[in-house]
């Protein structure tokens, strides 16, 4: 049931992106063109944040160590999540940089309880080995950072529930949202930050709230 809902969401997002591109001659707001170095952000829309856990998706992924896992196995700790592709030269490195800044702003005790996850939307090129090399190149602590590759269907489903817009270009590169998401222990979205060079304070507040044993207030994000 969730798969059919997510496919419908993705279709609507794709249609919206097509209409915006056709009508304005520019990339949709919040999308980073593959060959431009721009910071774009979307207007808030709180009612678009799903309340279901993304871990209810029935897709499976393979991490940088070649271990195959199902989404429900990610339950247990709050996570900072983004979708990227490793050959991206512009937006994706900046997304990872921003996530590393978030990591640095946490205390050692907080860092030990938080996970960072990068999901590739380029499964044709981003094998487990490529992800492993990327983690080493970017200096990612693999005790906290996990990188995942999956099938095209898994990518579509995850992109839909996260609110990502992804468009493959004729040259094989991608135009895509610049989006960083905070998930609680159960995989429910607690904050979404669209665009780069944004104020990290609300994201950090949402992440710290997710670390509390019985959080009472969550930041629902910019979306």
13 is a domain residue: yes
Domain range for 187 is: 2-211
Give residue 169's pLDDT.
Answer: 87
Q: How confident is the model at residue 49 (pLDDT cuts 50, 70, 90)?
A: low
Phi, psi of 14 (to 5 degrees): -65, -40
117 is a domain residue: yes
218 is a domain residue: no
* Residue 35 reports pLDDT greater than 70: no
Most confident of 30-39, 91-100, 189-198: 91-100
Q: How confident is the model at residue 214 (pLDDT cuts 50, 70, 90)?
A: low
169 is a domain residue: yes
220 is a domain residue: no
- Mean residue pLDDT of the chain comes to 80
Q: Express each pLDDT in 59-81 by its tens digit.
A: 999 999 999 999 999 999 999 99
217 is a domain residue: no
216 is a domain residue: no
Q: Express each pLDDT in 158-198 by its tens digit.
A: 999 999 999 888 887 888 989 999 999 999 999 999 988 88
The domain total for the chain is: 1
SS (H, E, C) the chain: CHHHHHHHHHHHHHHHHHHHHHHHCCCCCCEECCCCCCCCCCCCCHHHCCCCCHHHCCCEEEECCCCEEEHHHHCCCCEEEEEECCCCCCHHHHHHHHHHHHHHHCCHHHHCCCEEEEEECCCCCCCHHHHHHHHHHCCCCCCCEEEEEECHHHHHHHHHHHCCCEEECCCCCEEEECEEEEECCCCCEEEEEECCCCCCHHHHHHHHHHHCCCCCCCCCCCC
221 is a domain residue: no
Section 206-219 average pLDDT = 73
CATH number, domain containing residue 197? 3.40.30.10
Q: Measured between alpha carbons, how far is 51 from 196 in angstroms, rounded to an integer? A: 25
How much is the pTM? 0.75
């Amino acid at each position: 049931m969730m798969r059919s809902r997510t496919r419908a969401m993705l279709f609507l997002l794709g249609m919206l992106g097509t209409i915006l591109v056709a009508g304005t001659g520019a990339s949709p707001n919040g999308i980073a063109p593959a060959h431009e170095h721009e910071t774009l952000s979307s207007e808030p829309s709180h009612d678009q944040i799903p309340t279901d856990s993304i871990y209810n998706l029935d897709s499976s992924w393979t991490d940088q160590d070649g271990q195959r896992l199902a989404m429900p196995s990610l339950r247990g700790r709050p996570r900072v999540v983004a979708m990227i592709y490793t050959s991206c030269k512009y937006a994706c490195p900046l997304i990872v940089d921003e996530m590393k800044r978030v990591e640095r702003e946490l205390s050692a005790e907080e860092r030990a309880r938080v996970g960072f996850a990068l999901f590739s939307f380029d499964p044709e090129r981003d094998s487990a080995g490529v992800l492993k090399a990327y983690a080493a190149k970017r200096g990612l602590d693999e005790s906290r950072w996990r990188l995942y590759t999956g099938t095209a269907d898994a990518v579509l489903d995850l992109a839909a529930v996260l609110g990502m817009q992804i468009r493959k270009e004729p040259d094989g590169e991608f135009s895509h949202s610049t989006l960083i998401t905070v998930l609680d222990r159960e995989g429910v979205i607690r904050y979404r930050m669209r665009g780069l060079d944004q104020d990290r304070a609300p994201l950090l507040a949402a992440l710290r709230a997710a670390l509390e044993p019985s959080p009472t207030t969550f930041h629902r994000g910019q979306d």
